[in-house]
Amino acid sequence: MSRQRQDYDHVIKLLVIGDSGVGKTSLLLRFSEDSFTTSFISTIGIDFKIKKVMIDEKCCKLQIWDTAGQERFRTITKAYYRGAMGIMLVYDTTDEKSFENVRNWMKNIEQNAAPDVNKVLLGNKSDSAKRAISTQMGAALAEEFGIDYFETSAKTGSFVEDAFVHISRDVKNRLEREKPAGPSAGDAQVGVIKASKEKQKKKKCC
């Protein structure tokens, strides 16, 4: 068991947020299990998946938290902002309201997440013929907030892995720039500190 806990370089906690029905759970399933289902059940509170990926020759253990988009669960999800290292903000390209609500979600991030948290905007359901939000509109909003933008399709898998790997790489690069991490780094980085102790010891002997 101890060997399994140490076979990674970084632990990265990602939070997937956005309105109910935009496809957060479907994106997570496509990325973690390469599967898709048309049956939809609203996430109750919080669910999460773990997946290990290689990024720039580093093994990263991703803890991906899928949050409920319904208003009544937002008080539950607030606690998860604090430890998030990366946040994926999702809207539905066929739902204008979910796009408009991106601004509200960004306010939630500003109020609850760490100032240096990495963010990315995803326009999901890009495969649908019922598009209401153009690629240009999504890209312009992302540019306004100074974050990267991907159009994804959980149904076809288009750009799903690219988006998850992209934000994970951003987090990994930030963690490597910041280490050695001090006590102020927060509880969410405890796993990262432990995972990198051996490497830090080796560097000290030089």
CATH number for the domain spanning 157: value is 3.40.50.300
- CA–CA distance, 105 with 143 (Å, rounded to integer): 16
The kind and range of the H/E element at 149 are strand 148-151
> Residue 42: what pLDDT?
53
> Residue 67: what pLDDT?
77
How many beta carbons lie within 10 A of that of residue 98, not counting itself?
A: 25
> Residue 106: what pLDDT?
95
How many beta carbons lie within 10 A of that of residue 93, not counting itself?
A: 27
From the first residue on, what is the mean pLDDT of each consecutive set of 10 residues in the chain (206 residues)? 64 93 92 75 64 94 81 63 94 98 93 95 97 98 98 96 97 90 44 44 36
> Residue 46: what pLDDT?
59
Displacement of CA 39 from its chain's centroid (Å): 23
DSSP-based helix, strand, coil % in the chain, nearest 5: 45, 25, 35
Could you check whether the bond before residue 115 is cis, i.e. omega within 30 degrees of 0? Answer: no
Q: What is the DSSP-derived secondary structure letter of residue 179?
A: P
What the block records as the tokens of 139 is 């890209």
Range of the domain at 135: 2-204
> Residue 113: what pLDDT?
94
> Residue 70: what pLDDT?
55
- CA–CA distance, 206 with 70 (Å, rounded to integer): 53
Total domain count, the chain = 1
Task: Write a three-state SS string for 82-137.
Answer: CCCCEEEEEEECCCHHHHHCHHHHHHHHHHHCCCCCEEEEEEECCCCCCCCCCHHH
Degrees, nearest 5: CA angle 100-104-105: 105
